[in-house]
Amino acid sequence: MGTLLETKHLKKYFEVPQGTLHAVDDVSLSIEKGSTLGVVGESGCGKSTLGKLIMKLSQPTSGQILFDGTDIVPLTGKAFRSHRYQIQMIFQDPYATLDPRMSVGQLIAEPLEVSRLVQGKQAIDQRVDELMELVGLAQRLKNSYPHELDGGRRQRIGIARALAVNPQFIVCDEPVSALDVSIQAQVLNLLQDLQRDMGLTYMFITHDMSVVKHISDQIAVMYLGQVVEKCEAKELFANTMHPYSQALLSAIPIPNIHIERKKILLKGELSSPINPKPCCRFAVRCPYATEECFASEPAYREVKPGHFVACHKVGQHNDNNKQ
């Protein structure tokens, strides 16, 4: 299908009083057209900053973002506008993203009016109806306001707004984490249907491993601004290589009382992303860390075809487990 979006050595540093905060540090990822890349990690690992960089809501410190082969980082003004509509975003909290004084119809019409993709009142009205049907919002809700709706329906408005400008690529930043499980399943199904019918490409940012496994083709695990492991979704769960990914997987409570798992409990918490030392950032919490890990930063390398890991010890600790 070809690559739709690619980031090359993308970095975003913030200057804070204590030093330089490495929010996104040298992230190189690529996403195939029509597929879903899941980005997982805990709070503060830089996954939302990565989403914002791709949306160009934030200017990277260095690096490239190639969209369909064009670097969109230096683009501004008119040249960028055509790309703006290709990349859209769905946010975590649908309530915070919707103007409380606009009705559902107005909210969905807004991107159409701003982009001038559809002109004329009637045409816009018709397109709003189409979009509402597409995301499963009943026509009778057109004159309702966001506060009258539940979280699932609000998220559907957010999805309709993103789809209004016919994007190719959607950054979904924790789109279901504020929803109850029964509603979450409805929204996940909707996102999958839309992808299949419209050939959309998703970057799906989440902290929920079971959601990311369900929706993704490829998964990238992030830790303190860096991608530590990336591979096919199935491969990640069948053959987890990075110790952090292993711990992350083993930490999830599974709703099954017959699966006995050996838990890898990580000691301590995320270290600070401010002025990180030139060593493996996970080393302080890693059960397999040796001197080597504290001395140098591991390279992000392809260990198996399509399976990238940044760890000095990769392969070794897996064998230890088996003994």
Q: Which part of the chain contacts other proteins (CB under 8 A), choosing from 8-16, 30-38, 119-127, 188-196?
A: 188-196
Q: What beta strand segments (E) does the chain contain?
A: 3-16, 19-32, 36-40, 62-67, 70-71, 87-90, 169-173, 201-206, 218-223, 226-232, 300-304, 307-310
Q: Which of 231, 241, 247, 293 binds other proteins (CB under 8 A)?
A: 247
69 or 100: CB nearest other proteins: 100
Q: Which is nearer to other proteins, 19 or 136 (CB)?
A: 136
Instruction: Number of residues interacting with other proteins: please give it, by CB under 8 A.
Output: 41
Q: 150 and 102 in contact (C-beta within 8 Å)? A: no
Within the chain, what is the greatest distance between any pair of CA atoms?
70
In the complex, minimum distance from the CB of residue 64 to other proteins, in angstroms, rounded to a whole number:
30
> Which 8-state DSSP code applies to residue 206?
E
Q: Which of 58, 250, 271, 318 binds other proteins (CB under 8 A)?
A: 250
Does position 35 interact with other proteins (CB under 8 A)? The reply is no
Closest by CA position to 60, among listed 70, 71, 69: 71
Instruction: Verify binding: residue 254, other proteins, rule CB under 8 A.
Output: yes
Neighbour-count burial for 68-88, b at 16+ CB within 10 Å, e otherwise: eeeebbebeeeeeeebebbbb
Residue 272 makes contact with other proteins by CB under 8 A = no
Q: Smaller CB distance to other proteins: residue 65 or 212?
A: 212
Helix H or strand E encompassing 265: none
What distance lies between CA 271 and its chain's CA centroid? 22
If the CB atoms of residues 65 and 241 are measured against other proteins, the closer one turns out to be 241
> Is 222 a binder of other proteins (CB under 8 A)?
no
Which one-letter DSSP state was computed for residue 58?
Answer: S
Sign of CA dihedral 228, 202, 172, 74: positive
Looking at 192, 195, 271, 318, which residue binds other proteins (CB under 8 A)? 192
Q: Select the residue interacting with other proteins from 27, 170, 224, 266 (CB under 8 A).
A: 266
Does 317 contact other proteins by CB under 8 A?
Answer: no
Residues at the site binding other proteins, with contacts judged by CB under 8 A: 42-43, 150-152, 180-186, 188-189, 192, 207, 209-211, 213-215, 234, 237, 247-257, 259, 263, 265-266, 269-270
